[in-house]
Amino acid sequence: MSVLASNYVPGLYVEDHAIRVPLDWRGADPADVLERGLPGGEDETISVFYRVVTAPEHAHDDLPLLVFLQGGPGGQCPRPVSPTDDGWIAEAISHFRVILPDQRGTGRSSRIDAQTIARFGSDARAAADYLKRFLADSIVRDFEYLRLKEFGGRRWVSLGQSYGGFLTLTYLSLFPRGLAASFTTGGIPHVPADAAEVYAHTFPRMAAKTKRYYERYPQDVARVAAIADRLAAGDVRLPNGDPFSVRRLQMLGSDFGMKPSFERLHWLVDQAFTGGDGTVAAECAGDGSETADVAGVAGGAVHTGDGAASPVTLSTGFAMNVLARTASYERPLYWPLQEFIYADGEMDRPIDWSAQHELERHPEFSTDARPLMFTGEAAFPWMFEEDSSLRPFRPAVELMMQDTRFGRIYDEAQLARNEVPLQAAVYYDDMYVDSGMQLDTLSRIGRSHAWVTNEFEHDGVHGSTVFGRLYREALERGDLEDVLAGR
């Protein structure tokens, strides 16, 4: 196992590694590829980068292996600056040698962005077929090949966060022999997969989250309305030149399932206006104050400080922060692949922009509705027009939306007879992955156990409690006996 680099960060010893894997895994098995060798052409393989992280005192100890399956889609592995920077790591390095892979197409693993897709030019079909190679069926085969080639075929424990839970079930479906035990946090998909079903559950939860946000910060009803009214009037641009539309503003609800998302949005909106003290004018709120009722608010002016009202002017800092929170430069695959994580094998119907169709059933999410509602983790066609970092993906994504043939990711019969211990944290109020649907799936997976809690949001694993709780439950149940014995 060659080391590209090694270094210490506070509390951690880190090694960088990379291997080559087939670009196209169709019809291939990782064990067979290991035996006969990789495809010969340079364009037939890609690079998968991974880090091995340990506590400094365990740098050379023979510890059990834990592979982290990152959330996403299109998310790279954590870049920790300390063990407590990402809460689960501090607990994990006490027991494991931790493997942090960048999933193919992300981070340093043959990263895909708008420039990559632009090279396909007008050949949208080739670009679409290329993007299909970066979904769960290929990601899991990469990891299984990595386990066989670089870790001697030793079974490892997996920890899947969010989309990493989806990958966990794919791993358990295709290569259960590679796993000694599995943990998931907020990431058990509904099996069988159905994008339309997912979004039918998502939009009511988004409406409820938006209502809770306005209840906590009632002054933001008028402030958000004033921002939306100014954007609806047109001719507002983000600092990179992209149009700043009302629907782009609505995207700021994408992290409402994380803590402290309400506070992040509140303080962002707090500094939206220039001039005076930035207070929304009385006639804007309709009752002489910023704390208008959640219903029927207009917008359009701010106080100058002397009681007069002036037209809304949005601050450059506000626009810059909106750009940073809604652009796709850091996670270029997140929106292009978002709906295709629900594509499983031969499908009866195409996905066909499932979130958009569901949105159209909810007039309360209209851009001219007040109070303005915020959308969540959902990709819409307009994003691939207004976001310049996504625009090159549009032709390929449009084709994929009409496709019905994808790689197989779940084997329900195999999951039913699963023998790998699976411990899942199910967040009762999870905005992104419906808890009822998670529990339904778990009821049909062998040796699965659920810890259901409303103490945490979707990102609970990043704190200091969740993984430790899951680990202790598995330990006390005897599910880690083989792992700790090195079997």
Domain architecture of the chain: domains with CATH = 5-193+409-484 (3.40.50.1820), 195-402 (no CATH)
Q: Report the DSSP pairing between strands 65-69 and 12-22.
A: unpaired
User: Do 46 and 146 form a contact (C-beta atoms < 8 A)?
Assistant: no
What are the angstrom distances between the C-alpha of 223 and each of 2, 410, 484?
Answer: 55, 45, 55
Q: At what angle do helices 261-270 and 316-326 cross, to 10 degrees?
A: 150
Answer yes or no: is pLDDT of 283 > 70: no
Mean pLDDT of 75-85: 94
pLDDT per residue as tens digits for the range 368-417: 999 999 999 999 999 999 999 999 999 999 999 999 999 999 999 999 99
pLDDT band at residue 301 using 50, 70 and 90 as cut-offs: low
Determine phi and psi for 307, rounding to 5 degrees.
Answer: 95, -15
Residue 430: CB atoms within 10 Å: 25
Identify the H or E element spanning 426: strand 422-427
Answer yes or no: is pLDDT of 486 > 80: no
Identify the H or E element spanning 482: helix 481-484
User: Do 339 and 353 form a contact (C-beta atoms < 8 A)?
Assistant: yes
Range name among 82-86, 334-338, 481-485 with the lowest pLDDT average: 481-485
Mean pLDDT of 259-273: 96
pLDDT at 116: 95
Mean pLDDT of 247-268: 96
Mean pLDDT over the full length of the chain: 93
pLDDT at 284: 47
Those residues with Cβ within 8 angstroms of residue 482's Cβ, 6 or more apart along the chain or in another chain: 155, 180
pLDDT at 282: 41
Compute the distance between CA of residue 205 and CA of residue 193 in angstroms, rounded to an integer: 19
Q: What DSSP line would sit under 267-326, residue for residue?
A: HHHHT-B-STT-PBPHHHHSSSSS---SSS----EEE-SSS-EEE--B-HHHHHHHHHHH
Compute the distance between CA of residue 178 and CA of residue 158 in angstroms, rounded to an integer: 10
Report the DSSP beta bridge partners of residue 453: 427
Compute the distance between CA of residue 51 and CA of residue 484 in angstroms, rounded to an integer: 22
Global confidence as pTM: 0.94
User: Do 182 and 205 form a contact (C-beta atoms < 8 A)?
Assistant: no
pLDDT band at residue 485 using 50, 70 and 90 as cut-offs: confident
pLDDT per residue as tens digits for the range 302-351: 543 444 445 689 999 999 999 999 999 999 999 999 999 999 999 999 99
Residue 399: CB atoms within 10 Å: 16
Identify the H or E element spanning 68: strand 65-69
Mean pLDDT of 186-205: 96
Those residues with Cβ within 8 angstroms of residue 302's Cβ, 6 or more apart along the chain or in another chain: 226, 273, 275, 276, 278, 279, 280, 281, 284, 309, 310, 312, 313
pLDDT at 306: 47
Report the DSSP beta bridge partners of residue 181: 157
User: Considering only CA atoms, which of 340, 315, 327, 324 is closest in space to residue 386?
Assistant: 327
Higher pLDDT, 14 or 278: 14
Query: Above pLDDT 70, what percent of the chain?
Result: 94
Those residues with Cβ within 8 angstroms of residue 60's Cβ, 6 or more apart along the chain or in another chain: none
pLDDT per residue as tens digits for the range 167-186: 999 999 999 999 999 999 99
Range name among 70-79, 302-311, 361-370, 478-487 with the lowest pLDDT average: 302-311
Answer yes or no: is pLDDT of 296 > 60: no
